[in-house]
Structure 1
């Protein structure tokens, strides 16, 4: 019986991981179009049913706005006592306003009414189109990347490289699994998981802040998505390698300077010793132990691992999309009709100019817009001609990590990072450390 269980777990670990990689990560050439299997066929679906999907997304955004206002005023038990509904509809007045603005923009664009600066192809119409596309692509990405994240691959890799994380990132060996999960999985899930592990006594205050602020990217699937929309899918492998290499360098620096270096190395109970007894590898080789840990994780995989993602899928469409449309449209209007974003991004423009990067002003604005939302750089930079510039913007949109529409808000609300000031400092530090290294890598790659 035990042998059958072991075979079953090996199939889940190896087969599940390979299936996820095949569907979500590996780019193929489809009649001259380079894309992953998942995104290629989903895009065909979107193109075929675009009108119907636009209407559905508009209705969902309206429901999101009205539902959140109803929840805030009435506080009904059927919402507050339901985990999914509470997660989607219970929010602050600030985000309720964001939802109404996002829904209003979609209504104006859909019916082609209202001021031109809101509904034009360069502003609201662009955001509504992207929202429609992302509302299909992202939920399926969240679902199918479960094969990569929860079938044992994270545990396998974490055990193999755990010994290097302490000297490099100043975090305990068991943090390797969380670091990898945060780097290739959804950032919001990584932050919540890190908070839970901190509260259970696995991590210190500083370790939780390090994982949340230095590694909580928007997932490997998101990098594929950005590459696909940006038209650089044929450069996905070098992009991912650059993001990983520069990400390691930025994290090495980030954990050694303020604000993160100022956080205490104390556990949830205030002590300097972990209250948790950790399992130790006594007599197995590192590879054998890593494989066995992967099988233990695979043993826990059930259909629930996939059905539980419905919450995050709905959260993305009904919670985040209205906010992304709202902030994205405002950012586009600000970028096109005012000089504000140009002023803020001027230091970045100087760096790009010095490095002889094409279209430095537009690229700099795109890069600095990442603090509002990690997809805004793609929106603002998608019409840039130079592959070199788009590659830099794509890499920076991932490496900046903290953005107000999700990760920054989550870091402060969970107290993983103490304050908004610290989040802003992390964004600035990561941006100015990462950019020169990204530019250097792009020059070495010879992109044009």
Structure 2
């Protein structure tokens, strides 16, 4: 191929490649979440990455709709890439209702796509691990989802982290109490503005609220003041909020939120997990109807959430006459991976496995015999794919972080032995009987 015909290798902005070590850690995170979810009774499902555009649009809000990748397929149908796993799950439940046993607990791990502005640790293609319970509206269901997510993060996050809990019904009540003159649609616009509080700060959020017809400066200031007021424990100060919402349904939701936080604190009091009530948490997606949460790694300021979600009681009714309450949350697999990279904790220098070096062609058949027996014993093992200088084979094994190198050649074939070198210590043993070596090395599995 001529230089003029050669295509420059490049990725689309907001997408990334995963080198072997990154991909391995990513897979480890996914496997850990999946295993713990199944232990807790969550059942695996999967859904297509492409849905009819009408399935997705209008569920997350106008800002999310702008980020949805959509196109006309070969059948001249308007379709779109999923922007999360929750909306397709609601469609899945409606379509497969008769096949499911409710309450239904599900785990799903997969990629989603949003055409948002790429940022550090935030990509246009990203992997999420979702845990959901659908078919029941209860405090226990909320705690079960949040507890299972926290259990995973206790294992996966190296330091302490904080799960901040808000509530859409309480927040909606506060908006109505502080900004009673908002026009139709003004409450949703206020929620979207509040969702930007951590990113752009109070003055900018106040300006956004005042652009909404019917909003008054005094009311906007009062709303922001009560949302950011804190008690001695660092929680949103609920006393002035209870006064504002006296006699409204939101008052009962405050009690439920307090009980939820109390249970989570009791369950995780001896761990590095922190739980905090923060009613300024709004979550930008439009389908939330109750408790909402965001989780951040302590000390990683400005990085953003690694896990989020909430209750969505009305989402399934978009696709069905069935009224099914739901609650769920996501662990951002790629967000967590990016956080570990930023903390300098993503590099795995652990040596593992065995590499078989070939001292000449006469060792090839014997080497493959040993390779098969090692793998049958559950040991990670590889073999040189071509003969060459042993020094170069050892350098390759060292770069690949193998734990041991077994050398086989004519002498080893004749005596049914191997030479074993520990790459970490540099110690080497020659002429070790293979039966003895296999018994020893099988313990590595």
Return the structure number with greater strand share. 2
Larger Rg: 2
TM-score normalised per structure 1: 0.22
TM-score normalised per structure 2: 0.22
Higher relative CO (Cα under 8 Å, sequence separation at least 6) belongs to 1
